[in-house]
A and B are shown apart, each in its own frame.
Chain A
Amino acid sequence: MVSILILLAARGAAIPFRGDWYHGGVKLPRFLAAAFLAVAIALVAAGCAGVANPEGWASPAVSEPSAYIVLKKDKLYAVDLQDGSLGATRWVFPDKNRHPDQDKLDLRAIYSTPVVEGDTIYVADYEAGVFAISADDGSVRWRVRGDDISGNVGHDLGVSGDFLAFGTTDGHVYVIKKQDGSPAPGWDTKGRTFDDGIWATPVIAGDRVFVATMGGALHALSLSDGAELWSQPFEVDGAIAALTLLDEERLFVPSLNKYVYIVATSDGSVLGEFKASDWVWTEPAVKGERVYFGDFSGNVYALDITNGIEPVWEFAAGQKVKSGPAIVENVRDLGDVLVVADNDPVVYFLNAETGERLNAVPIEDAGRVRAGLTAFEGRAYVVTTGGKVFAAEPERLAVVGPIAVGGAQ
């Protein structure tokens, strides 16, 4: 690409450069013009290479007998599960051929893991809003239009009981009814507004909604009317881009300030904190009193959270770890195996107890891994930005794939 542009620039050398507009009669030497043009084009091309458009990073969701997988950034596939393996694709959303009303549905990128509740799938698009989709045929049951939401949705949907919660990059939080997408009682169509954007999943726990902002604040709101429940929010010097409910009493709060915090749901007090090597922007894998996660320096950590935070082990992967790891339990001869994928991507199989590396399998020509891994039936499913699905099999310490999904491969 760059070389083509430079060739074009070299061709520019053959074009007479009229440099005499500034100094009457003096022509700018052609070689200088060509060299300057080449450098300018190369710089533009160099800049082009790095700008990231929304690609989405939704983890696969499994609810037997189907798995729901977001591929190609804006397509949701419902796939049959046969003996724990991915089988035929039942439907794709959106599908204008099957559902003419989806003809003008223009999705941008999906960051929300599909939520499966009975025969309905709930999913949010970055720009197009929130959808309730029939698990049977992929038809839309209701929709909260993107135009009715202020900002973009770049995370999972919070779900509990009859309600869904989501935040936006503009700092709005909405709580809606699962039944029809209308605002929950005590919430209006404008939601609740914060000063900073919301990139972390709002978590619903009982009658409370926990909201983390990119300004570094964690709020506890009443589910019934959105009122603040803590005397003051939990605040850190760094953006909070992910939020996970560990149990009724504790939240896992990672931050771009390199720290992770365990915060009490009751009053926002810090039960423990741990400094990682770099940004932490991921959902952890949890087993008992241990949490596992990676950071942007490529380190993977196991922390004991029985009393505050105690580091158990640390493992250095090669690249940035954005995707949440998955634990595959009771693997023959190996016990619990932690499966981690870094940005490269390389899939690591680690002994969950000791952090010992069991194997590392690079995935070629598939893009990056940013979506969290999903464990199911002795496997961990890995979705790449290249729209491919792989199955990590700890028993064989191997990665199978890409798996054909709906003609996606």
Chain B
Amino acid sequence: MIGDLFGLLLLDPMINLLVILSRLLFGSFGLGLIAFTILIRLITFPLTVRQLHQTRAMQSIQPRVQEINKKYSDPKRRQEEMMKAYRESGVNPLGCLGPMLLQFPILIALFWAVRRVLPESPEALSALHDHLYSWTYIQQAIPISETFLGMDLREPNILMVVLVALTTWAQTKTTVSVATDERARAQQQMMAYMMPLMFAFFALSFPSGVSLYWVVNSLVGIGFNIVTYGFAPLKIAPMIKVRTPAPATAAAPGKQPQPAAAPDARAAGTSSNIDRELRTANGPGRSKRQNRRRRS
């Protein structure tokens, strides 16, 4: 069942899209893959922007997070206060994971799509037939050449393994850290090196076509990071200004939490910003009337 859905909704469209792009781009599967990667980044752009908002929001409440960390020694209570702080600031702690989680089904589907579009045996070519739409344009594109820049995109390639590691590392380096306490920062430092090694390890057994996707995806990610966060080592300032919620102050135990100030929202005066302000002032997602009902 899940396999059928996976095929119908993800794998087959991906296979056919790759075939179309490859045929459009001079029959080169490598160029088709690059175009596919850029297309995926464009489609997921709203998610990426949302991730950026969430990251900025996370940054803005870090002082409060630190305060909570210092204040509460009981992990359960600390967790509760932390979640409360996130809720009050309109931050979804999992919001930053959206684009990252989306990468996994895409990667899994791409792994199989590459193996199917570039068949390694007559049986595999015969099996590819079952995944192709009956459009003449697609049918006439088969088979697609598996070589790109001298690489067999069906096989792992050591150059691609190195590039996967380097670009993953570079992307991690250009990503803004939201952690303020030492422990989290240390963990992030470790991940900055573990992630490239882990993906390089995967790339050792992946078709180099999948690695090519990862490399291009990382390069686009690096570009996006530099444009939005800037890059201090090269003295590049952020080119996009993103609206962030004002930092929420720490709530004293037993007291109503202070509303998160949003001067920029007030200044902007848009209805959505005013709504956000009202919601925040009356508690998360509640109006004054709702509060009255709750009290009664």
Residues in A lying within 8 Å of B, measured CB to CB: 2, 20-28, 32, 36, 39-40, 42-47, 49-55, 57, 109, 111, 126, 154, 197, 199, 214, 237-239, 241, 256-258, 278-279, 281, 296, 320, 322, 370
Contacts and interface: CB of A to CB of B under 8 A. Distances in A.
B188 A55 contact: no
11 contacts: A24-B65, A24-B69, A25-B65, A28-B97, A43-B109, A46-B2, A47-B112, A197-B143, A214-B143, A257-B139, A279-B129
Contacts of B11: 47
Nearest to B111: A47
A55 B125 CA distance: 12
A2 B79 CA distance: 36
Contacts of B150: none
Interface string B108-140: 110110011001111111110100001010011
Contacts of A21: 184, 187-188, 190-191
B290 interface: no
A36 B101 contact: yes
Interface in B225-264: none
B294 interface: no
Interface stretch (B32-40, B163-171, B175-183, B266-274): B175-183
Contacts of A20: 184, 187
Contacts of A320: 126, 129
- Which 9 pairs, one residue from A and one from B, show the smallest C-beta to C-beta distance? A46-B3, A24-B184, A52-B123, A47-B112, A54-B121, A52-B124, A26-B93, A21-B187, A237-B140
Contacts of B179: 23-24
Given A24-B181, A24-B184, A296-B129, A43 B6 contact: yes
B121 A43 contact: no
Nearest to A109: B121
Interface string B60-93: 0000010001000000001100110010000001
A50 B116 contact: yes
Nearest to A277: B134
B104 interface: yes
Contacts of B97: 22, 28
Interface string B180-208: 11011001101100000000000000000
Contacts of B101: 36
A57 B6 contact: no
Nearest to A108: B121
Nearest to A215: B143
Nearest to B128: A52
A54 B120 CA distance: 8
Interface in B1-55: 2-3, 6-7, 11
Instruction: Give chain B's interface residue range (CB within 8 Å of chain A).
Output: 35 or more
A237 to B, nearest CB: 5
Contact of A25 (B78, B96, B124): B78
B107 to A, nearest CB: 9
Instruction: Name the prevailing secondary structure of the A interface residues.
Output: loop
B207 to A, nearest CB: 11
B142 interface: yes
Given A21-B191, A52-B124, A238-B140, A28 B94 contact: yes
A249 B119 CA distance: 34
B191 A154 contact: no
Given A40-B105, A46-B6, A49-B3, 6 more contacts: A24-B184, A25-B82, A42-B3, A47-B112, A52-B119, A52-B121
A52 B126 contact: yes
Nearest to B75: A25
A257 B141 CA distance: 9
Interface of B: 2-3, 6-7, 11, 58, 65, 69, 78-79, 82-83, 86, 93-94, 96-97, 101, 104-105, 108-109, 111-112, 115-116, 119-127, 129, 134, 136, 139-140, 142-143, 178-181, 183-184, 187-188, 190-191
Contacts of B69: 24-25
B123 A54 contact: yes
A21 B111 CA distance: 27
A322 B97 CA distance: 46
Contact of B124 (A36, A51, A238): A51
Contact of A256 (B124, B134, B139): B139
**Most central of B6, B115, B126, B179 by chain A CB within 10 Å:** B126
Contacts of A57: 122-123
Nearest to B58: A23
B178 to A, nearest CB: 7
A54 B122 contact: yes
A42 B2 contact: yes
A278 B138 CA distance: 13
Given A42-B2, A109-B121, A281 B188 contact: no
Contacts of B82: 25-26
A56 to B, nearest CB: 9
Contacts of B93: 23, 26
Contacts of A279: 129, 139
Contacts of A26: 82-83, 86, 93
Nearest to A28: B94
A239 to B, nearest CB: 6
Nearest to B131: A50
B127 A256 contact: no
Contact of B180 (A24, A43, A237): A24
Contacts of A281: 126
A174 B257 CA distance: 82
A26 B82 CA distance: 8
Contact of B112 (A23, A51, A111): A51
A2 B2 CA distance: 10
Contacts of B140: 237-238, 257
Contacts of A55: 121, 123
Contacts of A257: 136, 139-140
B145 to A, nearest CB: 8
A44 B116 contact: no
Contacts of A238: 139-140, 142
Nearest to B184: A24
B184 A258 contact: no
B127 A50 contact: yes
A282 B43 CA distance: 41
A379 B121 CA distance: 30
